[in-house]
Amino acid sequence: MTWLNKQVQKRPDHPAFYFQDESWTFLEVQQEVSHWVATYQQVLAPEEKRVALFSKNSKELYFSILALWELGKELLFLNTHLTLAELTFQLKDAQVKTIIGAPETQALLEEISFVDVQPMVKKQHSLSRQEFQQPSDLESVASIMYTSGTTGQPKGVLQRFKNHLASARGTQENMGITAEDCWLCAVPLFHISGLSIVVRQLVLGCSIRLYDKFDEQQVTQDLQEGRGTVISVVATMLQQLLSVYPEAGYSASFKGMLLGGGPIAPDKLAQCEEKGIPVIQSYGMTETCSQVVALKFEDAALKIGSAGQPLKDMQIKIVDELGQEQPEKQVGEILLKGPNVVSGYLNQRQPEKWTADGWFKTGDMGYLDAQGYLYLVSRLSELIISGGENIYPTEVEQVLQAITGIKAAAVVGEPDAQWGAVPVAYVISDQEITLAQIQDQCSRKLAKYKRPKRIYFCHSFPQTASGKIAKHRFMTEEREAFLIR
């Protein structure tokens, strides 16, 4: 029996899903999903196990996810900000035959000749009474999301139903989520931060209110009027919500915000404390099916700056470069182990990310205090997190270095008031090239959020003793010595 069917048996008339001015109970969700199942049965062969989805948040995307899971499909989630080149790579790498796209994406998708493009549109069918079975095997792959990694080569993360289930249960225990909660989802469903909210709804029986895009005024109104008890945010969203925070505050039913997706300025957390807004900082990634470390509400004020403690059944340790476990307050690489953590990447990429005894090497640096609370020092050392989106400098550098006229490129993150951080590029040219030419190539090859917001021409790069680019020197006044004026 599927997770959805279990909720229908337990609470058929319980509110399940809200989108704009519409609402559905669990029974009504099931009835709607059955129409979408019939639609997709007409266009997808039973043996076609993997399907791609390309859409911003919508009720159609939500119902499509549930319907395709009922049909036992593995779902490849595609970021709607991707360029044609990026989409092509992911679709080929995942060997997908069919992509289901929102109507507004059809023109772009028609340029991809090697896949069958289907519209995300429900067709009317006469339904016979039948029971659709999502794979009862929790080992089955539920979703695939690409993450670039430090190599710059995107890798498909194989998220299994068991990983999602463990994540939902860990969140339930940490945050005290019940069927009476309503989780506001203004983050994309194609990100793990969004999809994990749908899984929590199916596993825990809470309701979700989905937004097609984040609007701080609308979210604030909903929180004031008691239309949500919990919301997932990244630092940028939290800052925007603070800027319009009402004098009267939010409804008494509001429990708090789950903050993920990168660093936040300590003064913003202090503002939240002043206003009485509970914020749970968390740590997680695509490979862990959302948060695996989080602060409890009651610890948030006592451990400002900490990502918290491991969730249910999760283990964490800090190791040095030789793999030796570090004592408390000693910085090292963060390793994770537990049922939330995926067991590998698509096409067996980077197996070295897992140790022989099953620990996942995050590449992130941090330390544990005496009580076992995790503090992050840096994420993947150079990773840029801009408005909740991960930007890997290597990927951007490879695009820049492929441009005729650019001899070398280095990309770093610079602090930004709106986005938290933005990518900035430093280039050395070996023939005449204009800024406009570089920007044109970037716009063809990179999603908008990955494109360098500023590009500086240099005569040379700072180097370490071993000859590597000393990127940290670009973040100080020392950089002036390398710029062409």
* C-alpha to C-alpha distance for 410 and 250, rounded to whole angstroms: 44
Unique residue bearing structure tokens 């009476």 = 180
pLDDT for 231 equals 98
Sign (positive or negative) of CA dihedral 406, 409, 413, 415: negative
CATH, residue 468: 3.30.300.30
240 & 261 share domain: yes
pLDDT tens, position by position, 280-299: 889 999 999 999 999 877 78
CATH, residue 303: 3.40.50.12780
Q: Please say which residue of 319, 348, 377 terminates a domain.
A: 377
15 & 77 share domain: yes
Q: 4 pLDDT band (50/70/90 cuts)?
A: very high
358 & 392 share domain: no
361 & 419 share domain: no
Residues 6+ apart with CB under 8 A from 93: 154, 156, 346, 347
280 & 369 share domain: yes
457 & 348 share domain: no
pLDDT for 306 equals 86
pLDDT for 111 equals 93
Contact 155, 349 (CB under 8 A): yes
pLDDT at residue 131 is higher than 60: no
3-state secondary structure of 155: strand
pLDDT tens, position by position, 134-174: 555 899 999 999 986 545 578 999 999 999 999 999 999 98
Q: Compute CA distances 194 → 208, 263, 300, 427, whole Å.
A: 11, 19, 23, 36
Q: Please say which residue of 377, 406, 433 terminates a domain.
A: 377
| Domain enclosing residue 251, as ranges | 3-377
Q: Taking the complete model, does pTM exceed 0.75, yes or no?
A: yes
328 & 275 share domain: yes
* C-alpha to C-alpha distance for 199 and 69, rounded to whole angstroms: 11
Contact 44, 74 (CB under 8 A): no
Strand partners, 420: 416
pLDDT tens, position by position, 217-247: 999 999 999 999 999 998 889 989 999 999 9
**pLDDT above 70 as % of the chain:** 94
Q: How many domains does the chain have?
A: 2
**Average pLDDT, rounded, for the chain:** 91
**Backbone torsion region of residue 308, taken as left when φ is above 0, otherwise alpha when ψ lies between -120 and 50, otherwise beta:** left
**pLDDT above 90 as % of the chain:** 71
Question: Which alpha helices (H) appear in 50-191, and where do they start and end?
Answer: 59-70, 84-93, 106-109, 161-175
390 & 332 share domain: no
User: Residues 405-429: what's their mean pLDDT?
Assistant: 92
3-state secondary structure of 347: helix
Q: 378 versus 360: which is more confidently predicted?
A: 360
280 & 421 share domain: no
419 & 299 share domain: no
233 & 164 share domain: yes
Give the neighbor-by-neighbor strand order of the sheet with 279-285.
22-25, 15-19, 207-210, 182-185, 230-234, 256-260, 279-285, 290-294, 309-310
User: Residues 75-92: what's their mean pLDDT?
Assistant: 94
Q: Which helix (DSSP H) or strand (DSSP E) does residue 317 occupy?
A: strand 315-319
Burial (CB < 10 A; 0-12, 13-18, 19+), residue 30, is buried
User: Residues 101-111: what's their mean pLDDT?
Assistant: 93
Q: Please say which residue of 322, 347, 377 terminates a domain.
A: 377
Q: 428 pLDDT band (50/70/90 cuts)?
A: very high
439 & 356 share domain: no
